[in-house]
Amino acid sequence: MPDRSPLWPLSLAAATTVTALGAGIAPLRRALHAREGGLRPSEFPGGPEDIWVGQVPGVEAVELPPGLARFACRNNRLAEMALASDGFAEAVAAAVARHGPERVAVVLGTSTAGIEETEQAYSRRDGAGALPASFDYAGSHDLQSLPAYVRARLGLRGPAFAVSTACTSGARSMLEAASLIASGLADAVVAGGVDSLCRLTLHGFASLELLSRGRPTRPCAADRDGISIGEAAGLVLLTRPEHAPPGAPLLLGAGASSDGHHMSSPHPEGLGAVSAMRAALDAAGLTPGEVDYVNLHGTGTRANDAMEDRAVHHMFGDDVPCSSTKGWTGHALGASGAVEAVIAMLCLEDGLVPGCLGVAERDPEFRSAIAIANQARPVRRIASNSFGFGGSNCCLLIGQAA
């Protein structure tokens, strides 16, 4: 076949995340070990009552660099917090120095970009219904505002685009990143996702009666009653292994599929989830027995967790420990897959299986090895699942350097 080169593995040459636990990997790592979640009763202005959310402290105070003020919105402030954490911007600068700015691409997932800015602008419509003159559509509301901001902030000149496949966006971006590198268009790609709290998603999930009420989300619990929405940024720098620092973890493979079943309900038997996991294993050349931990999509809804248990049990059987980490971060929608890729990296490093948070009793119907307490054990390879509205499925396989 012409033009083809192997897609996998890639190296996760740098990574960072900003979650309800704070900016950077360190507070998230500390919280995972201490089993202290970041969800709090929602005080988000204009949001639904009686819910818990994973709000990032300090977002409002973030200022974008001079010259990039047109990109000011909650989502790009979150992106800026991530760029300034864990030496991420410096790692990208090193990739630029090595490969040139036109060889570093940006592929970022988001479901709502800067729509929170649009919501505020709607509140300030004039008597004729027009939006305020200060509202910058392309800099905030448009999906492209996120990759455009990150590209401008980092001084990149490679391809840059936004992936928006609902809650798989952050994970799905990494498949496109692999294509960019394999096709020779880029040597390094900033991938991942950023999604921020907004009234559209809070009230939207409330309208579907999918939000956990009065308490934080409890994925895989017998008494689970829904999602706690979070906001987050998860960024990774993907390169070929020979261009990464020694020992950098690997993105061993990724797989995607569609349900072709329903817009907002997963296929009950998890057929799409199974085919995404199988595609990821095939891409990585791995068997299910070589996976040490499955980080579930685990949103805490009745339907998702039941479907995912069936799919994961079908693939991995009785013994591979699996859990959802959304009890710590909330469900960060289009950023969740990227955040959980970063969580996978720290689980590899620390030998940690973080058991689902806040679960008194597992769903007795579940057959997978759902962990509800932390386990210290060697973890060499992790499967990380993401599923979304529209029947979108994606699975990433992340492992220690060979």
Report the residue from 40, 93, 144, 213 that binds another protein according to the rule CB under 8 A: 144
Q: Which is nearer to another protein, 73 or 143 (CB)?
A: 143
Nearer of residues 178 and 238 to another protein, judged by Cβ: 178
Shortest CB 28 distance to another protein, Å: 27
347: annotated active-site residue:
no
Q: DSSP assignment, residue 65?
A: P
Helices and strands per DSSP (H, E), number in the chain: 11, 16
- Single residue of 26, 69, 208, 222 touching another protein by CB under 8 A: 208
Interface with another protein, residue 375, by CB under 8 A: no
Nearer to another protein, 8 or 93 (CB): 8
Residue of 243, 226, 214 lying closest to 300 (CA atoms): 226
The count of residues interacting with another protein (CB under 8 A) is 75
Which residue number, 200 or 286, has a Cβ lying nearer to another protein? Answer: 200
Q: Does 280 bind another protein (CB under 8 A)?
A: no
| Shortest distance (Å) from residue 345 CB to another protein | 24
185 makes contact with another protein (CB under 8 A): yes
Figure out which of the listed residues 22, 114, 230, 388 binds another protein, where binding follows CB under 8 A. 388
Return the number of the residue (160 or 379) whose C-beta is nearest another protein.
160
Nearest to 81 by CA among 97, 58, 100, 54: 58
**Does residue 9 bind another protein (CB under 8 A)?**
no
Measured CA to CA in angstroms, residue 350 lies from 188, 347, 380 at distances of 26, 5, 10
DSSP string spanning 190-257? EEEEEE---HHHHHHHHHTT-B-BSS---TTBTT---B-BB-EEEEEEEE-GGGS-TT--EEEEEEEE
What is the smallest separation between the CB atom of 162 and another protein, expressed in angstroms?
A: 4
Task: For residue 14, give the 3-state DSSP assignment.
Answer: strand
Interface with another protein in residues 89-118 (CB under 8 A): 102, 111, 113, 115, 118
Q: Tell me the residue type at 140.
A: S
Please report whether residue 142 would count as binding another protein according to CB under 8 A: yes
Q: What is the nearest approach in angstroms of another protein to the Cβ of residue 4?
A: 6
Contact with another protein (CB under 8 A) among 256, 357, 370, 383: 256
The whole-angstrom distance between residue 296's C-alpha and the CA centroid of its chain comes to: 12
Span near another protein by CB under 8 A; candidates 80-88, 173-181, 219-227, 342-350: 173-181
Residue with tokens 């595609």: 279
Q: Does residue 167 have an active-site annotation?
A: yes
* Residue 331 appears among annotated catalytic residues: yes
User: 187 to 206, contacts with another protein by CB under 8 A?
Assistant: 199-200, 203-206
**Do 150 and 83 meet the contact criterion of CB atoms below 8 Å apart?**
yes
The CA R_g of the chain, rounded to the nearest whole Å, is 20
Query: For another protein, which is the closer residue by CB, 279 or 322?
Result: 279
Do you know the residue count of the chain? Answer: 402
Non-local (6+) Cβ contacts of 89 within 8 A are 83, 153, 154
Position of tokens 């948070």?
357
Active site members: 167, 297, 331
